[in-house]
Amino acid sequence: MPITINGVEHELDVDPRTTLLDFLRRDAGLTGTKKGCDHGQCGACTVLLNGQRINSCLTLAVMHEGDSVTTIEGLGTPNAPHPLQAAFVRHDGYQCGYCTPGQICSAKAMLDEIAAGWASVVSDDLAGTPVLSEDEIRERMSGNVCRCGAYSNIVAAIVDVAGARA
Ligand code: FES
Ligand code: FES
């Protein structure tokens, strides 16, 4: 069964040791997803797997037959950017931009997690609907490292989009 990436089916005819990250970049030609640490520590390789965020360097491509993956290329285009992509530009939420695809994929999933009522370690009420505070955003984005330190602008971009949703 093929894997679907950004709505397009791809055959998983690869060495079974190929990570999903390498499959995306090398075999599917989607180089928007970045390889930072290759060890699950930086978040640069974050993509959406069936709508939920994962580190694509920590999973093998052949484990995802029949799954649906969305990469940064699937969220928006230069002419029709996703609201988060537009907000990152508006707030200058990047410097080198290397971490940005992972940050944006992570932010998309994180906002969906809050909308679904998932608590985090900083949520006051584990049973209630989480309040989208900057503390929540910083905690939930803590798996995405930015070596340039663009964090304050990244948070501002996410607050902007979260506010527009509310
Ligand atoms: S490249 Fe996957 S977490 Fe760093
Ligand atoms: S903008 Fe450079 S690593 Fe984040």
Query: For a substitution probing ligand 1, which of 25, 33, 45 has the most ligand atoms within 8 Å of its CB?
Result: 45
pTM passes above 0.75: yes
Query: For a substitution probing ligand 2, which of 37, 89, 99, 153 has the most ligand atoms within 8 Å of its CB?
Result: 99
pLDDT in tens, 101-122: 999 999 999 999 999 999 999 9
For 70-88, b/e burial (b = at least 16 CB within 10 A) is: bbbbbbeeeeeebbbbebb
10 CA distance to ligand 1 centroid (A)? 23
Please tell me the residue having the least CA distance from ligand 1 atom 3.
40
Question: Other C-beta atoms within 10 Å of 145: how many?
Answer: 16
- What residues are paired with 2 via a beta bridge? none
In the chain, % of residues over pLDDT 70: 98
pLDDT in tens, 3-25: 999 999 999 999 999 999 999 99
152 CA distance to ligand 2 centroid (A)? 12
